[in-house]
Amino acid sequence: MKLIKKVGSEKGSRALRRGVQLLFLIIICFIGFRFYRFTSQLNQGMLPLVDRPAGVEAFLPISALVSLKYFALTGIINDVHPAGLVLFLIICATAFIVRKGFCAWVCPIGLFSEFLSKIHYLIFKHGYRLPRRLDTILRAGKYCLALFFVWAIFFNMPLRAVKEFIYSPYNILADIKMLRFFTEISMPALFVILGLILLSVLVRNFWCRYLCPYGAILGVLSFLSLGRIKFNSSRCVNCGKCEKICPGQISIRQGKSSFSLECNACLQCVNVCPEEGALKYSFFKNRFSMGSVGVAICFLAMFSLGIAAAKITGHWENRVSKKAYLYYMMTQGMMDKTGFNMEKMIRTERRKKGR
């Protein structure tokens, strides 16, 4: 009976996490579709009939870091990419409760990496891991990359440069340029992406484990997380299931899961463990524990409340008008000028205002 209950719990928890991942993926796809419509109409030299979805700014982490410094120095949330800063702060806040859970419960790249992991196990029946020393050296890469961005922005960028960057045409159009990177992808970029996909098939979670600077920042912040995987050696039967399924390749039975920067709170180790109480995700020195349902509610609540607060306080939608987008795209050479006359449009608008 205990085993049946455990198996059911494992399947239910896996389905719940996959459901949360798919929910966020659907939201991201909807945002992407609306943003594509918005930019397509701009490309045609017309004012978009659809509004720009603010959620697209989640894919501008560098802009968010610059906005964070501007906010720290001035107390002002800039009106170019306010949602980017809000989402960045929400994601960082989750690390103080559910560690790097964003990577396992929300991030679409994390979901794609899990799909590639299934292909990995079709090729390598028992999985393949890089030698420990090489793995350690490569893992340092994402932390060095994250450190570079933090150093360049927070320690080597004066306030004047920060403000100039935020209100520059480059930053204003950063989301459109990001979209064009994929819709008009160059051959070198395509080969790099295909190479990363191949490496992620051969080496499990290659991008997330070795290259993602966002994950590195969350990993460092998660060191201060209230929640941790607690291992009770007296209840462990040394079956090794927890370490085999762990995407972070953590030595759980050696008690390293509590402070590992690679733990993403996916709770797969907890759910696969056959012994009750051997592993659990707990808070405040085991006084309170939380399962997959609690983690799911935590993410949904933090994103919902954070975005709602930003909308209520007016820090969600940016204040760059559609006409301004049209103007910047033309002056930056990012649109087809055929049949479009910006000067004529401006004169027309001035005449309307003069009436």
With a CB cutoff of 8 Å and minimum separation 6, the contacts of 142 are: 209, 210, 211, 212, 213, 215, 216
Residue % of the chain over a pLDDT of 70: 92
Minimum mean pLDDT among 46-50, 156-160, 209-213: which range? 46-50
Which residue has 């992620």 as its token pair? 200
DSSP 274-319: SSTTTEEEEETTTTEE--HHHHHHHHHHHHHHHHHHHHHTT-SS--
Dihedral of alpha carbons 263, 241, 21, 305, sign: negative
The tokens for 83 are 């949602």
pLDDT tens for each residue of 238-285: 888 988 889 888 888 887 667 789 999 999 999 999 888 889 898 877
Rounded to 5 degrees, what are φ and ψ at 164? -65, -40
Compute the distance between CA of residue 252 and CA of residue 246 in angstroms, rounded to an integer. 9
Question: CA-CA distance, 18 to 267, in Å (whole number)?
Answer: 12
CA distances from 317 to 25, 55, 179 (A): 21, 9, 19
Percent of the chain beyond pLDDT 90?
A: 69
pLDDT, tens digit (0-9, with 9 covering 90-100), for 206-226: 999 999 999 999 999 998 999
303, 285, 142, 111: which is closest to 210 by C-alpha? 142
- At 11 the pLDDT is 82
Please say if the pLDDT value at position 349 is more than 70: no
Q: How confident is the model at residue 286 (pLDDT cuts 50, 70, 90)?
A: confident
- Look over the chain and give the mean of its residue pLDDT values, rounded to a whole number: 89
pLDDT of residue 165: 96
Query: Between residues 226 and 346, which one has the greater pLDDT?
Result: 226
Q: What average pLDDT score do residues 201-208 get?
A: 94
Count of C-beta atoms within a 10 Å radius of residue 266: 26
Lowest-confidence range among 46-50, 56-60, 255-259, 313-317? Answer: 255-259
Of 11-15, 115-119, 189-193, 211-215, which range is least confident?
Answer: 11-15
Give the sign of the dihedral formed by CA 233, CA 235, CA 236, CA 241. Answer: negative
